[in-house]
Homo-oligomer: A and B are copies of this chain.
């Protein structure tokens, strides 16, 4: 039976990426060696690294003055690296969910981390809109997509201090105006590659302003200078990212994928709104994530939660259970998820409704 991969991350990758990684394991770039066992200093891998960075810059239309680096580990390490590299005294954080809260927690080790607004009191079911950012904060940190609660900040904010964004789960899903950000980071394991790597897009002129000593591996300047090869990079993950970005480019780039993402999300949100068994957890359509679509059983049908989970699984839907913090359901609809999988889920929802 065909499986539909709705996992929130690690999550579905394009078949193109899977096929190309298999080819690369058999023989990387005609070297006669596997991508799993080739030196990162080989000219073939250096070319792969450079091409991956070029694809990043091209697809996201990154202006000059910015650097793209790839680091081992995931976005969670960036929760500490961002304040370590950018905060002397004070930074501001918008708390829109679990990951934003974790980023805020780590920042507190490095100075005064101000929570400018939080939607925690309502289970993070909206993006706060009216808040004041302290003018003396050294940066303002946002999490653009909240995988667990299903909200997304889809606009590029205009703020007066350097803007830092964790875009782990919506990078490459819609056009962004990079020039409005000073730093964008994220884990690779949603729209890019398998788990085990973080990307960081940095406006170079924000670096070098803190006074604390920074260990080499945690210093963005060291990795920029080393062109992401200060230490051995996650070679296979960079290669996989190159494949995914090539697939995205061939498909027409970010505007093309955004169109598909909007279409997929509409199909599912429309069904959630229509189907009497289910309700959305995010009321304001503006705040609804296009990447992680969360819903729960309507109050009158609470008992049907487990039966629907079982029913969906019997139809090949994997990973639609909500996060353990929220319960309910979550269908992740990342770039690589085909429309057919969303349609299959909607069919299952309709069938389950008519059976109940």
Contacts and interface: CB of A to CB of B under 8 A. Distances in A.
A74 B73 CA distance: 9
A71 interface: yes
A113 interface: no
A216 interface: yes
Interface in A286-314: none
B13 A189 contact: no
B37 A13 contact: yes
A246 B123 CA distance: 44
Q: How many interface residues does chain A have, given as a range?
A: 35 or more
Contact of A73 (B3, B40, B77): B77
B18 A34 contact: yes
A25 B195 CA distance: 13
The quantity of this chain's copies bound in the complex is 2
Interface string A95-109: 000000010011001
Given A109-B215, A215-B109, A74 B33 contact: no
A231 B39 contact: no
Interface stretch (A54-62, A134-142, A156-164, A235-243): A235-243
A33 B337 CA distance: 13
A36 B9 CA distance: 10
A318 interface: yes
B217 A80 contact: yes
B34 A195 contact: no
A13 B34 contact: yes
A196 B235 contact: yes
A106 B319 CA distance: 42
A31 interface: yes
Contacts of A73: 71-73, 77, 217, 231
B32 A1 contact: yes
Contact of A37 (B12, B32, B34, B218): B12
Interface string A1-42: 101010111111100011001100110000111111111101
A234 B196 contact: yes
Contacts of A38: 7, 10
A322 interface: no
A326 to B, nearest CB: 14
